[in-house]
Chain A
Amino acid sequence: DTGVSQDPRHKITKRGQNVTFRCDPISEHNRLYWYRQTLGQGPEFLTYFQNEAQLEKSRLLSDRFSAERPKGSFSTLEIQRTEQGDSAMYLCASSLARASGGYEQFFGPGTRLTVL
């Protein structure tokens, strides 16, 4: 399977704990995005990387959130001191930036976080 993969698929944690999610993009894709989706809503952008550089962060990304993409391959999203409001689906997507346009993003299956 050469699609975007995410791990874990589900995470249940207690308030105040730290959690880390992993995303493996499609191998040749140089852009990687994190989105958050709450129940009944569309995904909301959190942050994106071009290769290993984190180029933009949404205001949704509080200082408890940190994302990395070492070596421009997989990415991790860490949430420190989780709160119940962090409960959501965390989606990772990747794309290949090219001059011809399109820029469709391919999404992974998501990690569903539940904070008790």
Chain B
Amino acid sequence: AQKITQTQPGMFVQEKEAVTLDCTYDTSDPSYGLFWYKQPSSGEMIFLIYQGSYDQQNATEGRYSLNFQKARKSANLVISASQLGDSAMYFCAMREVRNNAGNMLTFGGGTRLMVKP
């Protein structure tokens, strides 16, 4: 079974509009972390935002916020006021703690976001 599912292979958004990228996850570990990374065409993975499973509030980092719905096992990324430079691949990833002492990440298949001027 997929541990991280990103159901949107590609999305368009108008510049200055907000966009939500979906991510659902599957784990039986009560302690886990969820990450979003951006990968522009240059290939480098850029860390955007982190949400811990025990965090009471949704994480925010500038224009990025994470809509964390634990019961639904979803961790959607919201980008406000989209900019042309936001065009990239976006990956959701999970770190499970109990069976994962090394904290390696499991990634979803990604969503390609294209911002229209």
User: What class of interface size applies to chain B in its complex with A?
Assistant: 20 to 34
Secondary structure of the A side of the interface?
A: strand
For A41, the chain B residues whose CB sits under 8 A away are: 109-110
For A103, the chain B residues whose CB sits under 8 A away are: 33, 95, 103
**Cβ contact within 8 Å between A45 and B105:** yes
Selected contact of A43 from candidates B45, B46, B47, B101, CB within 8 Å = B45
Selected contact of A42 from candidates B33, B46, B101, B110, CB within 8 Å = B110
Check if B68 is an interface residue, CB within 8 A of chain A: no
Bound CA span A109–B45, Å:
7
**Cβ contact within 8 Å between B104 and A45:** yes
> What is the CB-to-nearest-CB distance from B96 to chain A, in angstroms, rounded to a whole number?
12
| Listed residue (A35, A97, A105, A108) with the most chain B CB atoms within 10 angstroms of its CB | A105
Known contacts A101-B33, A103-B95, A104-B50: does B102 contact A109 (CB below 8 Å)?
A: no
**Cβ contact within 8 Å between B102 and A56:** yes
Check if A48 is an interface residue, CB within 8 A of chain B: yes
CB-CB contacts below 8 Å: A4-21 with B:
none
Interface-facing stretch out of A68-76, A78-86, A87-95: A87-95
Check if B42 is an interface residue, CB within 8 A of chain A: yes
Encode contact with B along A37-52: 1 for CB under 8 Å, 0 otherwise: 0001111110010100
Check if B43 is an interface residue, CB within 8 A of chain A: yes
Bound CA span A95–B42, Å:
21
Selected contact of A112 from candidates B43, B45, B46, B91, CB within 8 Å = B43
Give 7 pairs: A residue, B residue, CB < 8 Å, sorted on A: A55-B101, A91-B45, A101-B33, A104-B47, A107-B44, A109-B43, A112-B43
Additional 4 contacts, C-beta under 8 A, given A50-B102, A103-B103: A41-B110, A105-B35, A107-B37, A108-B44
Nearest 4 A/B pairs, CB to CB: A42-B107, A107-B45, A45-B104, A48-B102
